[in-house]
Amino acid sequence: MTTLAEGVAGAGSVAPRTPVRAGRRRSGAWRFAVLVLLGLYFLIPIAASVWFTVRDRGRGGVTFQHYVEIPGTEGFTAAFTRSLGLAGLTVVIVLLLMVPTVVLVDLRLPRLRTTVELLTLTPLVLPPIALVVGVRSVLSWAPDYFLNTPLADAFFALQEPSLPWILVLVYVVLALPFVYRALDAGVRGADLRTLTEAARNLGASWPRVLVSVVLPVLRTSVLNAAFLTFALVLGEFTIAAILGFETFPTWIVRISGSAPQLSVAVSVLSLVVTWMLLLLISALDRRRGTKESS
Amino acid sequence: MERGDVRLTTDPAPAVAPAPRRRGRRGRALSYLGALPFFLYVAVFLLLPVGVLAVEAFRATDPVTFEETWSTDSIMAITGGAYRRAYLGSLELSVITAVLGAVLGLALAVAVLRARRGRLLRRLVLTASGVLANFGGVPLAFAFLATIGNAGVVTALLTDTVGLGGFSLYSLAGLALVYLYFLIPLMVLTITPALEALRPQWREAADNLGASGWQYWRYVGGPVLAPPVIGATMLLFASAFAAYATAKALVGSSVPLVTLQIANALSSNVIVGSENLGKALALGMVVLIGLVMAFYAWVQRRTQRWLS
């Protein structure tokens, strides 16, 4: 299970310097072929999508009309801001839940490590659609069994269409594997035990240790985890669609029938923007890495 | 990096230094209390829904009296007919795409890691993989629709130039093509750490002892890489098996896939008891994945014993 998840969250990890062996040029040919073929496979759809959206069918030539139209399209603002809100809330909750747990397990409860690891990695293989069918069943208890109790009111409040908290709560589960991997890598890389023991020996209190030692050490991992979670929530379709809420991805699918070019434009834009952000974060990550010559 | 190296050869059990115990039992209890929120959360939002699924798949609603009873009707129903076809379709698609994705992803990861002066290339590929593997299938589906869908750019190009129109995106083969678009990046992300842990010294040692490239991979690189590659392939399989967004956005429900059938069963308000059918189908998915993972754990144990 560990190797299975090794590196799923590794987008921003700092790579070791692998010395390149001299000679053995013969094998360069297949590498080149792989890079070219797969490069074409990955670039053609993106290029074709861009062409699909900027081509002016009426007059010929190039138009950016479909990109300009995005902000004004019916439903975009609501769906996109809702998705941003859900993503922000998910990031906050998953970090509040996981940072203390990972640190605690590493420092004081190493015996629980396997259990925590197993539980956090389960959502990686558990089909989200199966999870959401189960969540739907639980939610249907409110009208079936708990009607006119505070619990039912709480269930209904979770399903408020303008800000569906139930999505946040389920997204936290989906984000667990990525967040755990990122934080665990940070904790392992930092030798937290020695650092905290040093701080404790110097007379720092536990809260003080957490704030001035643990959090700064984990800064990059936390940033990584937060970004992965954010991207995950912005792109998540299954849970929102099955529970019947409109988020950014379900909105794209809904408008695709009436505005095919617009839906492709939004898709390409969201992919490229997310990629740029990730590149930026990995660049920051590396600069920090070299500065501290780790 | 040394840390990662060590984990390859030795058991990953952390060297636990005896923690200073100043507060004894009470401190320990306090620590467990600190881990409680996590376990509560997982119990409520992960284990409870799956448990409910396992129970309610065996419930049935009477179409006349709306009375609920215990029944295996739903479970029986999903083993035959269209549902059986859907399971088989999903399994076929996931096995094929997982194996293809693993092979191509491994090749891409090796090619990128070994490229000379490839630091920029490598960062571009790794971040792009992070986006494609995690961002979800809806944008990818639309990118492919614009490329080789009915009105796609490449479709038009091909029909104009070669008069070719045999390939349909709205089939299992078409879905496979799109699935690979997020499975190959997932493989790259998952296998890169394992490739980085292959020490160049091993290759040099093999070279110095007169081993050929094939012998190196047969006796050194292959055995070391086998467990992570099998694990990554399993992850790809699970990911393809669970994929819903891509299929939904691409083909609606014209292809037999179990995820599409579940969504159909849930959205149908006409047939009483279709909700239970959806639960049974979902439970079937969980059970299948569970079996595959059990098999994986068994294989993993075998390979580890063989390695040590």
A122 versus A2: the higher-pLDDT residue is A122
Residue numbers of the domain that contains B103: 32-307
Q: What is the pLDDT of residues B279-292, one digit of tens each?
A: 889 999 999 999 99
Closest Cα in chain B to A46: B143
Does residue A97 sit within a domain?
Answer: yes
- Check whether residue A147 and residue A178 sit in a common domain: yes
| Residues of chain B positioned with their CB less than 8 A from the CB of A256 | 142, 145, 249
The fraction of chain B above a pLDDT of 70, given in percent, is 83
Nearest by CB to B35, from A4, A11, A109: name it.
A109
* Mean pLDDT of chain B, nearest integer: 81
- What pLDDT sits at residue A64? 82
Q: A62 by DSSP, 3-state: which?
A: strand
- What pLDDT sits at residue A293? 38
- Check whether residue A59 and residue A89 sit in a common domain: no
Q: How confident is the model at residue A203 (pLDDT cuts 50, 70, 90)?
A: confident
- What pLDDT sits at residue B39? 94
Q: A13-27, A163-177, B80-94 — which one is most confidently predicted on average?
A: A163-177
Does residue B11 sit within a domain?
Answer: no
Does residue A28 sit within a domain?
Answer: no
pLDDT for residue B3 is more than 50: no
Q: What is the pLDDT of residues B209-257, one digit of tens each?
A: 888 878 888 888 888 888 889 889 999 999 999 999 888 888 776 788 8
**CA A283, CA A277: separation in Å to the nearest integer?**
10
- What pLDDT sits at residue B64? 66
- What pLDDT sits at residue B162? 66
- Check whether residue A37 and residue A132 sit in a common domain: no
Does residue B19 sit within a domain?
Answer: no
CB atoms within 10 A of CB B75: 17
- What pLDDT sits at residue B48? 93
Nearest by CB to A112, from B19, B35, B51: name it.
B35
Nearest by CB to B130, from A11, A20, A38: name it.
A11
Mean predicted confidence (pLDDT) in A120-144 = 89
pLDDT for residue A22 is more than 50: no
Q: Does B295 touch chain A (CB under 8 A)?
A: no
Q: How confident is the model at residue A131 (pLDDT cuts 50, 70, 90)?
A: very high
Contact A123 B137 (CB under 8 A): no
Do B68 and B268 form a contact (C-beta atoms < 8 A)?
no
B80: alpha, beta or left? (left if phi > 0; alpha if psi -120 to 50): beta
Nearest by CB to B53, from A27, A130, A176: name it.
A130
Both tokens of residue A186?
Answer: 């940070």
pLDDT for residue B201 is more than 80: yes
B304 versus A214: the higher-pLDDT residue is A214
Closest Cα in chain A to B238: A125
- Check whether residue A112 and residue A135 sit in a common domain: yes
Is the ipTM above a cut-off of 0.85? no
- Check whether residue A49 and residue A161 sit in a common domain: no
A277 versus A180: the higher-pLDDT residue is A180
Q: How confident is the model at residue B70 (pLDDT cuts 50, 70, 90)?
A: confident
Angle of helix B172-196 relative to helix A28-54, nearest 10 degrees, comes to 130
Contact B45 A49 (CB under 8 A): no
Q: Does A224 touch chain B (CB under 8 A)?
A: no
Number of independent structural domains in chain B = 1
Contact A279 B127 (CB under 8 A): yes
Does residue B242 sit within a domain?
Answer: yes
| Residues of chain B positioned with their CB less than 8 A from the CB of A279 | 123-124, 127
Contact B14 A235 (CB under 8 A): no
Low-confidence winner among A26-35, B18-27, B48-57, B134-143 (lowest mean pLDDT): B18-27
- What pLDDT sits at residue B164? 59
Residue with tokens 């197993």: A118
**CA B287, CA B296: separation in Å to the nearest integer?**
14
Number of independent structural domains in chain A = 2
Q: Output the 3-class SS for B83-144.
A: HHHHHHHHHHHHHHHHHHHHHHHHHHHHHHHHCCCCHHHHHHHHHHHHHHHHCCHHHHHHHH
- Check whether residue A160 and residue A58 sit in a common domain: no
Residue numbers of the domain that contains A183: 75-291
Choose the mutation target among B1, B30, B45, B53 for the interface with A, i.e. most A CBs under 10 Å. B45
| Residue B10 distance to chain A (closest CA, Å) | 14
Does residue A86 sit within a domain?
Answer: yes
Interface of A with B in 105-124 (CB under 8 A): 105, 107-110, 112-113, 116, 119-120, 122-124
Do B106 and B191 form a contact (C-beta atoms < 8 A)?
yes
Closest Cα in chain A to B129: A11
Does residue A24 sit within a domain?
Answer: no
| Residues of chain B positioned with their CB less than 8 A from the CB of A41 | 180-181
Nearest by CB to B126, from A11, A178, A266: name it.
A11
pLDDT for residue B308 is more than 70: no
Both tokens of residue A136?
Answer: 């739907």
Contact B231 A21 (CB under 8 A): no
CA-to-CA dists, residue B215 to A11, B5, B33, B107, B226, angstroms: 32, 22, 53, 18, 15
Does residue A212 sit within a domain?
Answer: yes
| Residue A101 distance to chain B (closest CA, Å) | 6
CATH of residue A225: 1.10.3720.10
| Residues of chain A positioned with their CB less than 8 A from the CB of B285 | 127, 129-130
Mean predicted confidence (pLDDT) in A159-178 = 91
Does residue B125 sit within a domain?
Answer: yes
Does residue A133 sit within a domain?
Answer: yes
CA-to-CA dists, residue A90 to A12, A84, A93, A103, angstroms: 20, 10, 5, 20
- Check whether residue A130 and residue A218 sit in a common domain: yes
pTM of the model: 0.84
Widest CA span of chain B, in angstroms? 80
- In our burial notation (b when 16+ CB lie closer than 10 A, e otherwise), range A240-252 reads bbbbebbbbbbbb
Q: What is the pLDDT of residues B141-174, one digit of tens each?
A: 888 888 887 777 787 777 777 665 566 777 888 8
Contact A267 B282 (CB under 8 A): no
Q: What is the pLDDT of residues B37-50, one digit of tens each?
A: 999 999 999 999 99
| Residues of chain A positioned with their CB less than 8 A from the CB of B240 | none
Nearest by CB to A278, from B104, B131, B203: name it.
B131
Does residue B14 sit within a domain?
Answer: no
- A-B contacts at Cβ under 8 angstroms: 311
Do B88 and B289 form a contact (C-beta atoms < 8 A)?
no
Nearest by CB to A45, from B147, B278, B297: name it.
B147
pLDDT for residue A272 is more than 80: yes
The fraction of chain A above a pLDDT of 70, given in percent, is 87
Q: How confident is the model at residue B24 (pLDDT cuts 50, 70, 90)?
A: low
B34 versus B109: the higher-pLDDT residue is B109
Do A46 and A271 form a contact (C-beta atoms < 8 A)?
yes
pLDDT for residue A26 is more than 60: no
pLDDT for residue A174 is more than 90: yes
pLDDT for residue B74 is more than 90: no
- What pLDDT sits at residue B5? 39
**CA A166, CA A207: separation in Å to the nearest integer?**
31
Residue B59's DSSP bridge partners are B70
Mean predicted confidence (pLDDT) in A196-208 = 85
pLDDT for residue B79 is more than 60: yes
- The burial class, CB within 10 Å (0-12 / 13-18 / 19+), for B238 is buried
Q: Does A241 touch chain B (CB under 8 A)?
A: yes
- Check whether residue A156 and residue A55 sit in a common domain: no
Does residue A18 sit within a domain?
Answer: no
- Check whether residue A108 and residue A171 sit in a common domain: yes
Q: How confident is the model at residue A192 (pLDDT cuts 50, 70, 90)?
A: confident
Mean predicted confidence (pLDDT) in A35-63 = 85
CATH of residue B241: 1.10.3720.10
Does residue A139 sit within a domain?
Answer: yes
- Check whether residue A81 and residue A216 sit in a common domain: yes
Torsions phi, psi for B61 (to 5 deg): -105, 130
Torsions phi, psi for A6 (to 5 deg): -50, 115
| Residues of chain A positioned with their CB less than 8 A from the CB of B110 | 31, 34
- Check whether residue A184 and residue A58 sit in a common domain: no
Choose the mutation target among B55, B153, B191 for the interface with A, i.e. most A CBs under 10 Å. B153
| Residue B26 distance to chain A (closest CA, Å) | 13
- Check whether residue A48 and residue A179 sit in a common domain: no
